[in-house]
């Protein structure tokens, strides 16, 4: 007989407190999808390599498939379902639609959450020339900062354009 450890966790998911009993081995992704019915975050590789499961945990990007739910008791989690403000789409969601930044759409929830987190992260990346600077979000910077989110359809050009429009206003960075 298996001796499974369970814990009660409370998470703030998209602004709403959610408490549930979980197996201590359950990931944030499985908790969101299986226990809370939030299926926007996708299970792609289940190894933290594709980014389809990206959510914001306490405002920072995280692969939900690798994050143990029990370790995030009390955390504020925002999923793609929580990006919009009621019927008002998030600017990134509008830009993805306007710039055709998705094809099959499987990676889109992770791309959107990652982009939302990335836009809030100041500082240099691996492609920044001056590591003491807070560089403009050029297409090269955006590609580097979004490199953990894969798109099998290859919609990268439009994803970068959509993020650039939101980062730099209408027209986006050059």
Tokens (6 digits) for 143: 């590609």
Lowest-confidence segment of 21-30, 109-118, 126-135, 138-147 by average pLDDT:
126-135
- Those residues with Cβ within 8 angstroms of residue 83's Cβ, 6 or more apart along the chain or in another chain: 89, 90, 92, 93, 112, 113, 116
Mean pLDDT on 107-136: 91
Please, are residues 120 and 80 in contact by the beta-carbon 8 Å criterion? Answer: no
pLDDT in tens, 4-22: 799 999 999 999 999 999 9
pLDDT surpassing 80 at residue 163:
yes
pLDDT value of residue 27:
98
Which DSSP string do the residues of the chain spell out, in sequence order?
A: -----EEEEEEEETTEEEEEEEETT-BHHHIIIIIS---SS--SSSSSSS-TTEEEETTEEEETTTSBGGGGTT-EEE-GGGTSBTTB--HHHHHHHHTT--SS-SSHHHHHHHHHHHHT--S--TT-S-TTS-----HHHHHHHTTTS--TT--HHHHHHHHHHHHHSTT---
Domains of the chain as residue ranges with CATH: 6-82 (3.10.20.30), 91-168 (1.10.150.120)
Give the pLDDT band (50/70/90) at residue 174.
very low
pLDDT surpassing 60 at residue 173:
no
Taking alpha carbons only, the member of 73, 101, 87, 102 closest to residue 8 is 73
pLDDT in tens, 55-110: 999 999 999 999 999 999 999 999 999 999 999 999 999 999 999 998 999 999 99
pLDDT value of residue 2:
66
pLDDT in tens, 20-35: 999 999 999 999 999 9
pLDDT value of residue 85:
92
**CA 170 to CA 94: how far, in whole Å?**
12
- Those residues with Cβ within 8 angstroms of residue 119's Cβ, 6 or more apart along the chain or in another chain: 92, 137, 163, 166, 167
Q: Rounded mean pLDDT of the chain?
A: 93
pLDDT value of residue 169:
62
């Amino acid at each position: 007989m298996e001796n499974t450890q369970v814990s009660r966790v409370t998470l703030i998911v998209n602004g709403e407190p959610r408490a549930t009993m979980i197996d201590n081995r359950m990931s944030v992704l499985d908790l969101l999808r299986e226990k809370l019915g939030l299926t926007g975050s996708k299970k792609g590789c289940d190894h933290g390599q594709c980014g389809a499961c990206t959510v914001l945990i306490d405002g920072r990007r995280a692969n939900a498939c690798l994050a143990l739910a029990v370790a995030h008791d009390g955390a504020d989690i925002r999923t793609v379902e929580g990006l919009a403000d009621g019927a008002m789409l998030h600017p990134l969601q509008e830009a993805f639609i306007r710039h055709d930044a998705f094809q099959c759409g499987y990676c889109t929830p992770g791309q959107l959450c990652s982009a939302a987190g990335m836009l809030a992260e100041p500082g240099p990346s691996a492609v920044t020339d001056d590591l003491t600077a807070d560089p403009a979000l050029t297409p090269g910077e955006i590609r580097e900062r979004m490199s953990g989110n894969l798109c099998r359809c290859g919609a990268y050009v439009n994803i970068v354009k959509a993020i650039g429009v939101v980062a730099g206003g209408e027209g986006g960075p050059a």
